[in-house]
Amino acid sequence: QVQLVESGGGLVQAGGSLRLSCAASGRTFSLYAMGWFRQAPVKERELVAAIRWSGGATYYADSVKGRFTLSRDNGKNTMYLQMNSLKPDDTAVYYCAALVDPNRGWLLVTSYNYWGQGTQVTVSS
């Protein structure tokens, strides 16, 4: 089991910044990848950014490239999402998730085994 706790959401004006954190605990030695996802009302959950825990390969959705940066602190088993130049379209509940099975595609929402509780990000215009 892997437990995930997110923090850092909130309300910000367009153009502002927020940093999300996701602390992992439990069987963290089994991590294959971690990701940030978001879900806006009446929309499907989508992958925002992800990282392969071994090697550090990263992925960003086109909609956030150049604005969001994913980073991690291996010693703390914590992942961060620095979000700059926020837009109203970024408003959503943001979730972090962990994948432990290396045979699953790390860019697929349905591959992820463990999920955090979600944190609301609201960007006002």
- Reading the block at residue 59, the tokens are 């992925």
CB neighbours (10 Å) of residue 115? 15
Residue 19 contacts residue 71 (beta carbons within 8 Å): no
Q: State the pLDDT confidence band at 54, using cuts at 50, 70 and 90.
A: confident
Q: Tell me which of 26-30, 40-44, 59-63 is least confident.
A: 26-30
Torsional sign, CA 25, 26, 29, 35: negative
Q: State the pLDDT confidence band at 56, using cuts at 50, 70 and 90.
A: confident
The pLDDT of 94-120, averaged and rounded, is: 95
Mean pLDDT of the chain: 95
CA distance linking residue 73 with residue 7, whole number of Å: 15
